Amino acid sequence: MDFKGKNLIILVLSFFCLVLIGYLIYSNSQETKKGFIPAQEAGELAIGYINKNLLSEGSQANLTGEVEEEGGVYKFQIEIGGQKYFSYITKDGKILFAQGINLEETAATSQGGGEQASPKSCEDLPKNDKPVLEAFVVSYCPFGTQMQRILNEIVKEIPSLAQDIKISYIGEIKDGKVQAMHGEEEAEENLRQICLREEQKDKFYSYLSCFIKEGKTEGCLGEVGADKEGLSQCMTDSSRGIAYAQEDFEAQNTYRVTGSPTLILNEEAVSEFDFGGRTAQAVKTLLCCGFTSEPELCGKTLSEEQAATGFSKTYSSGNPSSDASCGQ
């Protein structure tokens, strides 16, 4: 190739580079005109809001990885207490979504006649002479411990309702071992709580009351006077602990539970947010709506404050309501 030919190629490439640079500058200026902010800045803004308004004292959210654009919004991953979640924020940094729902993935269920999520009144809920409110959680999900905190508060204030509440756990059995969405530590704690629930019922809520404060297993077992040897035997005996856990997981699959927490009243999925959110009063009201004839004890008013998420020494963090959950 001669000198003129090389110069022509260089000129052509230079022209295209200039066009590309111009386009990028124009695109960025258009984004700015629309009020959009850089992706990483939006992620940091979201993390700041979450830490200030959605988490209880002692809990901290951190941004992990890069913030990316997806579906017209920014997608980012946060870590809270070793657990990771995807959240979303609009490109102008004004609206935060604790969770995203993939409409394409759920369209088949909706088109197939699946029940649409809509607010329900007390009259809409299934009734039973002996209702059962089953709460599916995992022990290291900050929103799972939030629900455990609420149920513990209900049982503390109205002990007789304990017979109408069951805390169940999300997971599966693989190679003879309990699996959980957040790893081995959570799987072991889930199994421990299952064994206490089944074989040391009088220690179960006392242990939960202690555990949800700081997550100190050994200290809490000692504090409530649990039979540690019996507990260890339950957790290692496949005909006991593993069998109990399997019953939870079968119920989880029956109700198609995928998130912690999920509430099932009289075998029907229900939402605490139809009655005020994650408060002791709202969940107590929901449970009482499950009675064929509501007992007098349901008239007692409980805390209407949103319960703290994660490990917290206090019942309430004073933060606004959030319907976030840990999903599989």
Asked if residues 215 and 254 have their Cβ atoms less than 8 Å apart, the reply is no
Are domains 39-102 and 122-327 of this chain identical in fold?
no
pLDDT tens for the 328 residues of the chain, in order = 554 454 545 544 455 444 444 544 555 555 555 678 888 888 788 888 777 766 655 567 788 778 887 656 778 777 765 556 677 788 778 776 655 544 444 443 333 444 445 789 999 999 999 999 999 999 999 999 999 999 999 999 999 999 999 999 999 999 999 999 999 999 999 999 999 999 999 999 999 999 999 999 999 999 999 999 999 999 999 999 999 999 999 999 999 999 999 999 999 999 999 999 999 999 999 999 999 999 999 999 999 999 999 999 999 877 666 788 897 6
Of 72, 133, 127, 145, the residue nearest 103 (C-alpha): 72
Tokens describing residue 208: 């939960």
CA distance 304 to 282: 7
> What element of type H or E holds 260?
strand 259-260
Q: What is the CA radius of gyration of the chain?
A: 25
Task: Count CB-CB contacts under 10 A for residue 89.
Answer: 23
How much is the pLDDT for 6? Answer: 47
Looking at the domain that runs over 122-327, which CATH code has it been given?
3.40.30.10
> What element of type H or E holds 229?
helix 228-236
Domain spans, the chain: 39-102, 122-327
Tokens describing residue 163: 């017979």
| Residue ranges in 34-78 assigned as alpha helix (H) | 39-49
- Segments of 3-156 assigned E as strands: 61-70, 73-80, 83-90, 96-97, 133-137
CA distance 225 to 232: 14
Domain 39-102 has CATH 3.30.1380: no
